[in-house]
């Protein structure tokens, strides 16, 4: 059986504010095969790790009076967004901000880290990967799994991401065929463009339907699909056209688990994430994005060795059953 990849979604984002060096570092320590940075651009053309270019939800920018006038509303990929946008800030300005937990009601323990960590550049993340590899001295390199976020929007404002992503990978020795890299995007146009620029593996993200897998296979090496699309039949169909299947996103909180795997009724409490991952592993997937890489690696390793993992007690919480913010 080829290895099933554990992809640390935004780092160990269940345990640290997402997309911070500390989140990626913890993910590596916990046994992730790949770390996943979502990438957006600054005004001066630097790739930084954020899930979206609006940074009001994941940084303390709202507490910076010097940036109050930068708040604005714009339409991005057809959606009206209000807030502060990375393309309005230089990297030097971004570096004055500090990360905040995206889901404070579901992950209150992570709020202890609010205000402590910088927003990292893609280059800094690759430096972490390179330092990890040096420590491993000849062992398996840590994989990187960058996602271009809003690539059409950034191209339209004169901040294209594609060459910058490839240049940064090359700078850190991740450009050769066989390097542990997947470049992912929801935008097929972006992936087709990248196909003309690199032989590195590309992955088409899909949320609502699998679509024409044969067509996707003309430019991509895999699909990254929402759990709702990851039936055994869907996995087989993708494999039939030589597409890898990676599934997102596995999270331990009851809020994100199916009813039969929740433990108790508190949305922030942890349910049976192990059981959920096992279900998808049995469908033949090739990898999965997980906010808790330690759990992901443990379940994957046990599955491959044919041993059921020992159930770890979920983290108890007495939080009231509030709804989450964001995704
Ligand atoms: O990239 C896989 C998964 O992360 C896609 O969703 O919104 O978390 O980037 P998102
Ligand atoms: Ca992503």
- pLDDT tens digit sequence for 166-176: 999 999 999 99
Q: Whole-angstrom Cα distance, residue 249 to residue 327?
A: 10
Give the per-residue pLDDT at 138: 79
**For residues 110-136, average pLDDT:** 97
The encoded tokens of residue 289 equal 């994005």
Q: Say how many Å lie between the CA of residue 279 and the centre of ligand 1.
A: 20
Would the pLDDT of 270 be above 80? yes
pTM to 2 decimal places: 0.94
- The CB of 317 under 6 Å from ligand 1? The reply is no
DSSP H helical ranges for 73-114: 91-94
For the chain, how many residues are written? 327
Q: Say how many Å lie between the CA of residue 296 and the centre of ligand 2.
A: 17
Would the pLDDT of 68 be above 50? yes
Over residues 17-62, the pLDDT tens digits come to 999 999 999 999 999 999 999 999 999 999 999 999 999 999 999 9
Residue 324 pLDDT grade (very low, low, confident, very high; cuts 50, 70, 90): very low
Asked if residues 154 and 7 have their Cβ atoms less than 8 Å apart, the reply is no
Q: Whole-angstrom Cα distance, residue 292 to residue 101?
A: 15
**For residues 140-154, average pLDDT:** 97
Domain layout of the chain by residue ranges: 5-305
Indicate the SS3 state at residue 181: strand
Residue 137 pLDDT grade (very low, low, confident, very high; cuts 50, 70, 90): confident
Give the per-residue pLDDT at 319: 38
Mutate which of 248, 250, 286, 288 for ligand 1? The one with the most ligand atoms within 8 Å of its CB, which is 248
How many C-beta neighbours within 10 Å does residue 132 have?
A: 17
Would the pLDDT of 83 be above 90? yes
Give the per-residue pLDDT at 111: 98
Ligand 1, atom 6, lies closest to the CA of 248
Would the pLDDT of 321 be above 80? no
Query: 5-305 architecture in CATH?
Result: Alpha-Beta Barrel (3.20)
């Amino acid at each position: 059986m080829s290895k099933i990849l554990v992809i640390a979604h935004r780092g160990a984002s269940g345990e640290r504010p997402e997309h911070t060096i500390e989140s990626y570092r913890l993910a590596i320590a916990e046994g992730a095969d790949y770390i996943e940075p979502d990438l957006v651009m600054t005004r001066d053309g630097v790739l930084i790790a954020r899930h979206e270019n609006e940074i009001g939800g994941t940084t303390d920018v709202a507490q910076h009076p010097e940036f109050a006038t930068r708040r604005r509303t714009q339409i991005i990929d057809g959606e009206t967004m209000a807030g502060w946008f990375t393309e309005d800030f230089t990297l030097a300005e971004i570096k004055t901000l500090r990360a905040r937990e995206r889901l404070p009601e579901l992950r209150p323990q992570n709020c202890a880290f609010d205000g402590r960590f910088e927003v990292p550049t893609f280059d800094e993340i690759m430096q972490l990967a390179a330092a990890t590899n040096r420590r491993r001295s000849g062992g398996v390199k840590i994989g990187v799994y960058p996602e271009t976020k809003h690539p059409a929007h950034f191209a339209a404002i004169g901040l294209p991401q594609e060459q910058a992503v490839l240049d940064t990978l090359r700078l850190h020795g991740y450009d050769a065929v066989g390097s542990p890299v997947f470049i992912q995007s929801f935008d097929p146009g972006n992936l087709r463009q990248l196909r003309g620029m690199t032989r590195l593996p590309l992955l088409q993200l899909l949320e609502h339907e699998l679509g024409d897998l044969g067509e996707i296979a003309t430019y991509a090496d895999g699909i990254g699909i929402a759990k709702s699309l990851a039936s055994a039949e869907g996995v087989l169909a993708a494999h039939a056209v030589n597409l890898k299947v990676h599934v997102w996103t596995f999270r331990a909180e009851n809020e994100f688990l199916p009813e039969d795997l929740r433990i108790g009724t508190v949305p922030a409490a942890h349910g049976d994430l192990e059981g959920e991952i096992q279900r998808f592993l049995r469908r033949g997937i090739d990898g999965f994005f997980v906010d808790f890489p330690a759990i992901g690696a443990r379940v994957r390793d046990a599955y491959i060795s044919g041993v059921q993992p020992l159930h770890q007690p979920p983290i108890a919480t007495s939080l009231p059953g509030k709804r989450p913010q964001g995704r």
